[in-house]
Amino acid sequence: MIHAAEFQEALKLECLVSSTKDVWDFRTPDLNRPGMQFCGFYEYFAFERPQVIGKVEMSYLEKQPAEERRRILEKYFSYNIPCVVICRNMTPPAELLELAAKHNIFVFRSSAVTSKFTVSAIHYLNRCLAPHVVRHGVLIDVYGVGVLLTGKSGVGKSEAALELIKRGHQLVADDVVDICRISDDRLIGSCPERVRHLMEIRGIGIIDVQAMFGIGAVSFSKSIDLILELTAADEDVPVDRIGLEDHRVEILGVSVPCQSVSLKPGRNLAIIVEAASRNLSLKRSGYNAVRGLSSAFQA
């Protein structure tokens, strides 16, 4: 569900005609430009999408005689359109505003050119309509790599994140990570607004990371590129010491690399997380240390 007020605020729109239909049940993040409909072709009219009127559509309407323009718009607004957005700060014909009000349809105006507004609107709708799931963990931006620390409650995820923040990395979410799939192979993690920038440290309580370390210590969202599962020292978990196997975890249909890290006395977890992040970046660039070592032995 998309709320009209949130749509207007996010895309910085001016409301020209209001409506009581302020909640929209969109099924796709796509838009529709009604040039073909103004010419009379309604066979494949995607009326359920937001309608975008650019310079081409507006010029066509303005060149029509008043009676013909009203006839075109009467048929157009007879469909159950959620809203119309007029780009380039153009002034719409009086008939358009009149008929939109008559049919209880929102009309907004944007100062952006049509192409830029279209990109922004599709990106916004894509984020709103993307599949969501909430996971327990801590999401940190480490050297540009989104690292999701998981593990049992009390294992030390927040303490590890705090050490990473001290080393210059950014906190995205602590304890509650809101994950959405924005494409077939990409996940974005963020923090619910009520607990944004807050972190729980056992024995101390709740701290505000932004107030304590500055705005550079936090980030609003980050892609989830790597999952590090933290396990206690007494847990009998098999560990791949060489790193030859490629372990992955599926979230919302997206496969994410996953590694298990055992927390034993004396281990500096912050350095391990940094090393894992840099190693993933190297693998993405085409270099794999294990394969390089294997090739050297074979030679």
What is the set of active-site residues? 136, 157, 175, 241
Which residues are registered as beta bridge partners of 134?
178
Mode of pairing for the β-strands spanning 248-251 and 254-263: antiparallel
Q: CA 51, CA 17: separation in Å to the nearest integer? A: 14
3-state secondary structure 113-168: CHHHHHHHHHHHHHHHHCCEEEEEEEEEEECCEEEEEEECCCCCHHHHHHHHHHCC
Amino acid present at 109:
R
Total residues found in the chain within this entry: 299
CA distances for 269 relative to 36, 145, 261, angstroms: 60, 16, 9
- List the one residue out of 45, 71, 69, 50 whose CA is nearest residue 59: 69
Burial of 250 (0-12, 13-18, 19+ CB in 10 A): exposed
Q: CA 198, CA 160: separation in Å to the nearest integer? A: 15
Tokens of 81: 């359109």
